[in-house]
Amino acid sequence: METTRHFTATVYLVADGATALHEHPGLGIRLPPGGHVDRGELPHETALREAREETGLEPTLLTDHDDVRSDTARAIPRPRHLMLADVNVCGDEVGHQHVDHVYYAAVERRDIDPEPGEPGPEAWSWYDQSALRRSDVDPDVRELGIEAIETAAAGTHRPSR
């Protein structure tokens, strides 16, 4: 079986020491906002777009690099992590994977107001570090959520849009 791979982007939104997760309708697991990188879109643009569509919140990416640029080149926000997620597994073979660009972002409020067609606000919950440790979310979601909260609290990042 040939493995197909798609580029995706995920963003852990942090407000008041907690991160937002929702019950993914197709996967049945709790995840932060995210989705496929569209044609002509950069991964960080996908993360921001998906967050706005899925939550109605306006995120500010938390980056850790300088804004290096010239007339012909510029730095783009780099993900905090790159993850390879198996989406379609058949026995010992993987038919489909996501190459996921994971970002962290701050938001100023917790009021979820998704665009029409997205899961409603009742699908979302805010998890602080303690709630993440107690929850049954996947281990990578737990670890990355805690790291996102700690990154936002440390204040050593450079906000980027």
User: Is the separation of the CB atoms in 102 and 77 below 8 Å?
Assistant: no
Both tokens of residue 30? 């709790």
**What pLDDT is attached to residue 90?**
82
SS3 140: helix
Between CA 63 and CA 160 the distance in angstroms is 6
Decide if domain 4-112+120-160 falls under CATH 3.60.15.10: no
Between CA 30 and CA 109 the distance in angstroms is 20
Between CA 55 and CA 112 the distance in angstroms is 5
DSSP string covering 81-106: EEEEEEEEEETTEEEEEEEEEEEEEE
Both tokens of residue 14? 């942090």
Sequence letter at residue 68: V
Sequence letter at residue 119: P
Output the CA–CA distances (angstroms, integers) from residue 44 to 60, 85, 101, 124, in the order listed: 11, 18, 8, 22
| Domain boundaries of the chain, sorted by first residue | 4-112+120-160
Q: Which residue ranges in the chain fall short of pLDDT 70?
A: 156-161
**What pLDDT is attached to residue 160?**
55
Between CA 30 and CA 23 the distance in angstroms is 4
Q: What is the pTM of this model?
A: 0.91
